[in-house]
Chain A
Amino acid sequence: MSQPIQIHPAKGFKERSLAALNDPAQRKNFRGAMDFLQMKRRAQFPDPKDLSSLRDLGEAIRRYSLARLPDLLEQLERNLTANGIQVHWAETPDQANAIALGIARRVDARLIAKGKSMVSEEVGFNHAMEAAGIETLETDMGEYIVQLAGEAPSHIIMPAIHKTKQQIAALFAEKIPGVAYSEDVDTLIQIGRRVLRRKFAAADIGLSGVNFAVAETGTLFLVENEGNGRMCTTVPRVHIAITGIEKVVAKLEHVPPLNSLLPRSATGQPVTTYLNLISSPRKAGELDGPEEVHLILVDNGRTQAYGDLQLRATLQCIRCGACMNHCPVYARIGGPRLRHHLSGPDRRHHLAPPARSRRHLPAVLRLDAVPRLRRRLSGAHPDHRSADPLAQ
């Protein structure tokens, strides 16, 4: 049964969007950045028909996966476990944070180095860890800048896109000991890199997101450009990956078409600098890699979205951010005024069903096991009998 849709308008949106419209410097930043990203994506997809058919294929793969979500999640858990990766299920943000905190306490962690993860933003990970006395450090350069400034990311792919190099220069000079003001971008990157390198060595836990979790092989697929993701997932003794339950795909061969869409749509790159396929902790005889790998699978309303015919398609999203880059509203008011982990005016409703569906969850649910999830996900999916899109 689908639940009634509750719309909770973002509080103070009008005031914040007015302030953004009246900030010419920031509007210029966003406009320029969005024009650039649109141009980069166009260059990656010169033939609209190719793009259309690739999007159709990507959508078919996502629908195929979602149609089998309960089965695939079980298979994923089985295969990850067989590979030595420990799987945890979180119904709510609090549960997700409690699981991470449990691991952190057990290994006596003081510092968590974080690769980019929007789900960690969604569950308020940094806040929960810091409340427990554990330092978190964002290691994606954009996320690092935003964290240093005490702000929220303004774009899911480019978190600090609202900041100018002058603002970043001032921020670094103010917050990083011994750093002089410099507007030179290479210098700024080197400053950030030096800070982060030292921290990687000291981190007890590395946290990352997941782009696609492959059920058949028990593999976590992660794209990134800075190498910080690989540092987070290999240098600290413990790696915790956190992601939404919708990110599962059936087979490894389903990843290339999706990954052919993702970076080209997101940043206009044919491929990201780093592709990480994480399939186990360090094995006997291996010289590097974490001793423990954990995956926290977060529901946070996704099963509600799954059960709602209108919202289910939102789970197909691969988080490329191209919709933001092409959004005429986003280009004018940007993200930081919107105060939501998935910035954008209506995306709050489209991509983040949890925010409003959480209230419908029966309080007695203790979603720490797949069978319960399976019951929640029950209900015939119209695509259930569809054939493997790559087998056609």
Chain B
Amino acid sequence: MEHKSGLSRAYPAKPGNVYLFATCLIDQFAPEAGLDTVRLLEREGIAVHFPEGQTCCGQPAYTSGYPDEARDVARHQLDLFPEPWPVVVPSGSCGAMLRHHYPKLFAANPALAAKAQTLAERTFELTEFLVHVVGFARNDSGAPCTIALHTSCHARREMGCHETSEALLAGLKQVKVTEQARIEECCGFGGTFSMRFPHISEAIVTDKVESLCATGAGRVVSADCGCLFNITGRAAKLDEIAGRSEPTLSGEHIASFLWRRTAGETS
């Protein structure tokens, strides 16, 4: 049984090799965020291995109430990471699936449960890995700027990664992170929820865009592409409706933001 207080965990020393579990959204829609993840890790002297056979983690089926179908998808990932290296996931949502839900999915099968458990124990969300394993400490070489941070529900509630995202941004001396109303509230994406109940999803994301715009930052950074696409997509739609030619709110994955801010540096 995974307890909520199980968020605290032991971290390994900085390894020489890691696996990257890139997630569907990065693979399909935001490859640059995946490449920036690789750049960030390689610059720290870590070799990044990307098993080509990886697919979706199975979360859409899992959260839609199809555990058997989710198990099939998850089963496929269990053999992809044979070496005892950490598996880094640039998403708190998919990371939480591997870390917290895989062991539950395979609880009835001891052999697979053991595999799922070892995979869970070496799965790290990117910002968590950068803070607690890498000890990321690069100098900010960018111009002064103000941003808002959005942390996904899974990253915040299942992985505690709002703290590591905040810590990484706090390390960038020229970056000011704004306060926002209801920061912990969902952006309305919720994976398949946004497709099943688009009208409710839209109401939630409209409020989220409003909160973010009210900060005056003009840019939102997140470690989860699902939220980012949802938020910036709605912001663009609202711009279109209002006839604004300049985007009110742009978004960036935290891997890309970190890389861009510290790109001048080599190790």
In the bound complex, CA of A52 to CA of B3 (Å): 8
Name the distance in Å between A346's Cβ and chain B's nearest Cβ: 9
Interface members, chain A 1-17 (any B CB < 8 Å):
5, 7, 14, 17
The 3 closest A-B pairs by CB, nearest first: A52-B5, A328-B186, A56-B3
In the bound complex, CA of A14 to CA of B65 (Å): 20
A56 cross-chain contacts in B, Cβ below 8 A:
3-5
* A/B interface sample: 8 pairs, CB < 8 A: A21-B203, A52-B7, A56-B3, A56-B4, A329-B200, A332-B200, A333-B200, A345-B197
Instruction: Check if B199 sits within 8 Å of A7, measured CB to CB.
Output: no
Instruction: Check if A7 sits within 8 Å of B65, measured CB to CB.
Output: yes
Instruction: Check if B199 sits within 8 Å of A329, measured CB to CB.
Output: no
Which residues of A are at the interface with B, using a C-beta cutoff of 8 A? 5, 7, 14, 17-18, 21, 35, 49, 52-53, 55-56, 59, 310, 328-329, 332-333, 345, 349
Instruction: Check if A332 sits within 8 Å of B203, measured CB to CB.
Output: yes
Instruction: Check if A52 sits within 8 Å of B4, measured CB to CB.
Output: yes
Q: B199 touches which one: A17, A35, A55 (CB < 8 A)?
A: A17
In the bound complex, CA of A224 to CA of B71 (Å): 44
- For residue A349, which residue of chain B has the nearest CB? B65
Contact of B265 with A by CB under 8 A = no
B186 cross-chain contacts in A, Cβ below 8 A:
328
Query: How many B residues touch A, CB cutoff 8 Å?
Result: 16
In the bound complex, CA of A7 to CA of B64 (Å): 11
Name the distance in Å between B156's Cβ and chain A's nearest Cβ: 11
Contact of B191 with A by CB under 8 A = no
A21 cross-chain contacts in B, Cβ below 8 A:
199-200, 203
A328 cross-chain contacts in B, Cβ below 8 A:
185-186, 188, 204
Instruction: Check if A18 sits within 8 Å of B199, measured CB to CB.
Output: yes
Instruction: Check if B65 sits within 8 Å of A332, measured CB to CB.
Output: no
B197 cross-chain contacts in A, Cβ below 8 A:
14, 17, 329, 345
Name the distance in Å between A82's Cβ and chain B's nearest Cβ: 35
In the bound complex, CA of A349 to CA of B196 (Å): 15
In the bound complex, CA of A349 to CA of B64 (Å): 12
Contact of B67 with A by CB under 8 A = yes
Name the distance in Å between A180's Cβ and chain B's nearest Cβ: 38
